[in-house]
Structure formats: C-alpha cells, structure tokens
Structure 1
C-alpha cells in the first residue's frame, strides 16, 4: 500500500509500506512508477523525512543505491565489447551471501564472503606484458619468417603446457602475433589462445590476499570474459579436485538503480560497514533523520519509489477591450486573435503548452 507521497525537484516520491527485498522493491517501482528512489541533495532528504513523518513511518526503507559487480583487473583495454559484463552465475545466484565470487567444478559462479580462505585462479595477460616498441622490433625482425614462427609456436604450445616456465618466451611470440594480426588473419585464433593463461594457486587465502598474491606473481585475479575462458577455468578446477576457487569478480562501487550518476551520499556515521560481508543495498533510516545504512539485500523492508512530478497548472484572467468594428463573437475572429496572443506569449518565453480561451463579460 502506498501510504504517502512527496514532491521534489521534478520527481515525486512514493513511500510504500509493504515490505519487500531489494530486488522485489526495484521491480515493483519500475513497474508502477519509474524506479527506486534516487536522492540528489539535502532537499530530497528533507522531502523524504517530511513524507515519512506525515505517514507516521519511523523505520527503515529501501532507496535505489546498491553495490555493483566488477573485475579486479579493471584495465578496459583487456576486454572486448561486452566481455566485461560476462557472467556465469548459477541459477539463484548471486544470493547476497558475500561480495566476492567463486567458481565451482561445474563452471557455475557463486557469491561468498570474501574473508573465507580458499584457493584462487590467477591470470597471466600476455597482451599486457609487452610494450609497443618491443612488439614493433620483433615484428620487424621476423616479418619474413611468419609461417615458420606460426608453426614453431604451435609445437611450443603442445610440448610445453606449463606457461610459468616459458612465460617470457610465450610473451615474445604473442607479441609477434599481435603486431602481425593486420597482415595475417589466420593468426587470430592462435593469438586469442595465447592472450591469457590461468594458474591455480597452491595455497588457500582470502579473496583480498589472493588479489595481492596474483598481482605480485602474475597479472591479477582471473577475469573470465566469455564461455570459452569459463570452460578453461572449470577444467582447471576439476583437474585440481577442489570444490570451489576464487576468481576476480567482486562487488564494490555504489550505483543508483536508475543509472543516475549522482555522487550525493548521506550515510549514518559508521556506515556502510558491510556487516559479515553481506550488505550491498542501501536504505534510509527514518529513526536517524533519514541517514543511510547498508543492509543485506534479502532483508524485507518498506521502500521508496519515485515517478515524474505531476504537472501544475495556474489560471490568469485578462480583460480585453476591443476598439474595432470586427465582431468579437465571430469564431474566425476569435481564433485569429488567440493565435496572435499565443505567438506573443511564446516570444516572451512562455511554453507551448499554455491554453488560451475567451470568457465573455456578463452584461
């Protein structure tokens, strides 16, 4: 049930007393209104506080702020179009049990508490390990021997499966291919295979410890950009005989449900605290002047939607005296006069949605 509304800065807030989890509240607001509430300023905060006070609400209600998923390896040049958004979640995942991601032997992803210790998958990004000058030099030196180089790399890959012992060699060959791609389209598939290699750590560690380890000894925690790479990591997990391992996907930055880029924040002191690593959605606490707290997204709370503010209208009456022989009751004359008035109002900056009409003065 919608218990109260409030107007602010071009939007109207709707406080919904029926308790839902964050995802349910988001769906409800998008269906019935525009989205969960975006809050841009203290004016918005004060409007919501008045709305809650009028409705007699002194509890917690969802707003549209929540944490999003992103890769530990944040360099956008590493990802082709759409690859940064690839996800391999199992059905029902993520279920807000944590802010870090693990992959299972069946290739499915689960969110889990980042403080749990388990093995991790690092990645070696060959395409990021060699500078442009080195690539150009190698290309110049071996331009005439491309076919030989291609054959040698294939044999090299077959004979040497452990990328760690031959990393520098593979980087050099991958660099050759990278420079030669415009001239030799046949190298595309091979270069894609050499572009990244996945390595399973020997030791168990927290997600943050795994991130530090992978950045020190490799490139970063594994980014899984497509189904083919997910298959490679899955095979690595299966071969190791472990139940789950960390990959590089984690939940960190806050964003608004409607995509707004507002940077306004009004957290309660000590918030957000991500209690037990399981709090990724924000709510306004009207027991504390509407300041915000982070909560588990599965919690059931009241929530605040917003929609467009209703248009306001006003009426102004002007007296008009005609000094002409024209008949003011003639519909054609009245229409011509109204058109001229509207043009003059537009020239004065009045919007087109103004409505003009005549009202006869009683005799």
Structure 2
C-alpha cells in the first residue's frame, strides 16, 4: 500500500489580460496541446495567437500571464508544411522578443518566464500543461474538432467494411470525449459493435485492431450507472467482447493480444488513445447529438473504486499475460480531507485544503516502489482529473508501506 499526500488547491481558474484587441486567458487545468485547443475553441476563440503581440506594452502585459510553469499557446510544428504554424491560421514569423527553440514532429510551443520578458518553450504535444486561450470579438467560434492538426505523420486509417457499416481506426491519440467529437463530425460515432455478433464480424474487426487500446463507443454512464454505447442505438454487448467491470470515469478500449480475438479493456476516459469510428449511411453524421455524461459533479471527499485491467484470457492451449503494469492501470483510492494520521505528513499551506490519499498497487517482486513513484503519481493524477473535474490539486509523494496480508 502506498501512502500519498494530496493537497487540493482551490485557485482561480484563469488570469486575464487584454492586448491588440484580443483578450487572453490563462487556464491552470493541465491538458495535452490538442485537449487545450479543443477547450479554447469551445469556450473562447482559440489557443493563444501571439503573432501580433510585438509592441513593448503588449509584451509587458503578456508577462502577467506567464509563470515559471510552461503553458501551451497555439504555436505548433505542422508536419504538413514541415514548419511552424498557429492553430488560429495565422502565418508564423519569428518574434523579436524570444529566442526560438528547436521544433520538430510532435512538438508544440509553450510560454513561460524566468525574467520580465516572456519566453517561448517547446514540449511534447502530449504532455499535460496549463494553457492560454484568447478571445477575439471579430472572429466566430470554431468547431473544436476542425481541423485535426497534423502533429506527427499519420498513415491512412485502417478500414474494414462489415455489412453496411464501415469501421476506421485512427492512430492519432485523443481522449475518449475528443475522439467522440471527431467521429461524430467526420463519420457517425465511435465504434458501436452491437451488430457484430457472429464469428465473421469478430474476425473482420480484428484486422484493424492492435495491441494498443483504441477507443470504441462503450462507456460507463454516470447518470444511469451502467454501460452504454455513445451511438444511443441500444445497450446490448456481444458475448465475445468479455467486458470487464467498469466504474465512473472509465471508457472502453479495444485491443488484441498476439492472435487472440479483440477484447474490451476499461481505461480512464481522459487517457490519450487511438480510436475507432464507424459510419452508417442510414444515420450519417451526428455532431449535434448530446454528449454522454462520464462523471457526476465531483466532491473533494470521495471514495472511488476502479477495476484494474484484467490479464489477457487464455484461448485454446495458449495463454497470454499483458506485460505492462495492468495492476496499476486504475488504482483503488480513498481521498479524505481528514487524514487518519499526521505521521510523516507535511503541514498544509494556510488557506488550502489538505488530505491524505492512499492507493493500492501490485508491483513486481524485488521492485523498489520509490523508483516507480513518478509512474504511480501520474496514474493517480489521471484518475483524480476524472474524479475532481476542474478542481485544482497537487500531489506530493510522502512514502509507502508494504501490505503484508
């Protein structure tokens, strides 16, 4: 058992400034670059476009949105042009106020400060960071999913026709909700497998699956407390899927192992995964449909039970065990604002809520948990993002104790 200290900081969600006719807003919620882009387009205009921010007064104002912590802006390396571009569509020219970092495939720009002048940084587009949006009254809101920017070279999606349905697998990694938005805009929905009840359908689907989970439309509906398909076309589940237990904040990923049949795994919905869309010509696109409810309104005092991903089942005479740390995929955790003990616990900062979080992990024998603490904290953070919603929090490693039962 690992004892981890949790500090939940209820801070202002954003800082604002106005410059060049635009209003910039820094959001402290940590997201990937694409996740931040989707948020900014849904609630503002776009990720921050600093192309016109060149005057001394504008740069000075921009400084008040920067910190030593890097925050995403709308600048990214676009593999289509093999150069830098702004997500808003502006043509990039090198700014006079910052040295330009080295950019390449899969790298997006950040903004930070260590002096009184903001600086451009560069980080993997899948990293989780705060971000800066902007509002421009002269521009209309964009579709959050248009366009899907080419951050890395993408092969043509794998495709299979099963009856009247066309299934396409995209290896671009997104959260479940972002993948749903893309599928509804460009196809019909995330993959609905209800009609694939025979051996032929199962084998055909296998041609576009891999050992990496890809989102499908199955998820745990927080409203009904049951499994649902995002397509809304029913609730049946083919028996061959062997669906494990699900809980709030978990969505279905489909994967194969060696030559076994595809199988569903429960994955935290905010994880970045490939995804499978389907298209039904009798339905068409569904971008105007209501979004599923993945989590209820969170509370800072919660107990959440998550089910680890199961080992791959045996089929015939063969057996397979997933080699990654499946036992740590979704830990069981208990969060409370009233710690059981103050032993080895740092004092909370004045005015901030504080609590102890304990999580159970199964680790290989002879493994030092201290060496795995970064992995543990990362996995717990993903679950807490689902559980706590937009609440700001910080995790601090306190220590661990071995459960000898």
Higher strand share: 2
TM-score exceeds 0.5? no
Q: Which has the higher helix share?
A: 1
TM-score relative to the length of structure 1 = 0.31
The structure whose RCO (Cα within 8 Å, separation 6+) is larger is 1
Please identify the structure whose Cα radius of gyration is greater: 1
